[in-house]
Amino acid sequence: MIAQPVSTFTGPEIDWYALSPLLVLVAAAVALLVAGALTPPWPKGGYAIVTVGAATASAVLAIIQWQNISDDGPSTLVAGAVSFDLSAMFFTITICVAVALVALLTDDFLRRQALDGPEFYALYLVAAAGGIVMASANDLIVLFLGVETLSLALYVLAAADRRRSKSQESGLKYFVLGSFSSAFLLYGIALVYGATGSTNITRVVVYLQESVPLERFDALLLTGVALMMVGLAFKIAAAPFHVWTPDVYEGAPSPVSAFMASAGKVAAFGALVRVLIVALPFYREDWQPVVWVLALVSLVVGSVLAVVQTNVKRLLAYSSINHVGFVLVGIESAAHRAGAVDSGPGVPSVGVYLLAYTVMVIGSFGVVAIASRSGDDATSLDSFRGFATRRPVLAVAFTVFLLAQAGVPFTSGFIAKFGVVQAAVEERSYAIALIAMLTSVVAAFLYLRIIVTMWMSEPDDASVELAGAGTSNSWTGTLSIGLAAGFTVAVGIVPGWLLDAADDLTQFAR
């Protein structure tokens, strides 16, 4: 008998330099865990400095890659599994900004809790790596792997404060509901694969483009799309899939809440853009009404329910749902020209909003984290009575963040909200644009409520006692809030550079 030749596996060609922003984060996470286990406790701030350095290096590499993509055009990596385009780099930079700011807040928080160690920071880096994979995935299976990497890290982070039962409860709730959403997403991916024969986004687009005039498996594909949208709606906390958000944000450590509200949402929206705008432009007439309804419900639920909250963290949680509605307005606007050569202002407005919101929400939760006593329990609205008298600098910063979230001019929030509303108006989505502006007026009441409490209410004995318990001498938390406040004002006054950068986000790798 003639021996049959043994087939050998040939792996895909990998451009390691193009993947360097992601690899830096993974390497830093591994280094923190290994070094933290084998060395004595590091000097104060050491873990945070390493994390900030890794996030900064990753962001710088992404900026360098941005220039390379601008010169050579977008492409794909790892046999078409990962997109290498400006959208992926923008979301990478935004997530790295979130990691750096949150790491500084966490250093301050952990010192007060006497919990300093490398675990929080390593989990931030792992979650950020998963988020970048989500936002840059060109394959639905790769996207799901990114979702799970991000989610598992966030489950642990939410329950990381072992001294507080609320933290344990928030981690368990997030895990249970997050598992359901992952199941929806994975089942949807399976149905899309069954209808198109591939999970690669490029191949899915080609299949749908070539099969448009022919008989298609519409029911199978549309069911898969619907399930994927349900799974991603859980991740972005869009109403009515928002039920986990208030309890988890309230129970989790404040820096973790800031990370979930910023990096977690950026990654999920990056994945949503990939799935809807890039992979399914030919089905926009089917999924666009769903996005419209999700935007409407999120805008109304987030603004109305936030007004009745008495806990600042829950208030910010419902506020984040309102902001999700604004971002969905931008995605609904982008749907009108999905797949067209001129993609319109929808996707750029989404990018600007996500970066602006990332910074302002981290700053907001940062003030709450510093203002609360040891134990992270002094987060009721009453605990902020007379806060401006006790901590005037923090009160000014918090006022800036709240005004930005309300969309007041000369803040980044105004630029972000104006951008998505303008995009909706350009696509003649007048109804959702009007609803967004009306809910913004309602939401402004809750932000003014906090501002009035800080500046015009006399502190009571209990709030003074809590203030003393919550005092922190760490400079890292103050630095994070200062950087966030400076960025919020700077973008509000000079937004041109950010708007110009966001204009290129429609050049997707296909």
pLDDT (tens digit, 9 = 90+) per residue, 294-330?
999 999 999 999 888 888 999 999 999 999 999 999 9
% of the chain residues with pLDDT over 70: 93
| pLDDT number for residue 5 | 57
- For tokens 């806060």, what's the residue? 387
| pLDDT number for residue 156 | 94
- For tokens 């909003």, what's the residue? 353
372 confidence band (pLDDT: 50, 70, 90) = confident
User: In sequence order, which residues have a C-beta less than 8 Å from that of residue 290 and are 6 or more positions away?
Assistant: 226, 229
Phi, psi of 341 (to 5 degrees): -65, -45
Structure tokens at 262: 């910023």
Task: Count Cβ atoms within 10 A of the Cβ of residue 209 and give its class: 0-12 exposed, 13-18 middle, 19 or more buried.
Answer: exposed
**Residue 11 vs residues 8, 14, 138, 143, 473: alpha-carbon distances, Å:** 10, 9, 18, 20, 52
Q: What is the pTM of this model?
A: 0.93
Q: Is the pLDDT of residue 222 over 50?
A: yes
pLDDT in tens, 106-136: 988 888 877 778 889 999 999 999 999 999 9
Q: How confident is the prediction for the chain on average, in pLDDT?
A: 88
pLDDT in tens, 416-447: 999 999 999 999 999 999 999 999 999 998 89
Q: By mean pLDDT, which of 21-25, 39-43, 211-215, 368-372 is the weakest?
A: 211-215
| pLDDT number for residue 470 | 47
| pLDDT number for residue 324 | 95
| pLDDT number for residue 447 | 92
Q: Are 374 and 112 in contact (CB under 8 A)?
A: yes
Q: Is the pLDDT of residue 509 over 80?
A: no
Contacts 24+ apart (CB under 8 A), 197-201: 199/139, 199/140, 199/141, 200/80, 200/81, 200/138, 200/139, 200/140, 201/83, 201/137, 201/138, 201/139, 201/140, 201/274, 201/278, 201/279, 201/510
| pLDDT number for residue 386 | 86
| pLDDT number for residue 4 | 60
% of the chain residues with pLDDT over 90: 62
408 confidence band (pLDDT: 50, 70, 90) = very high
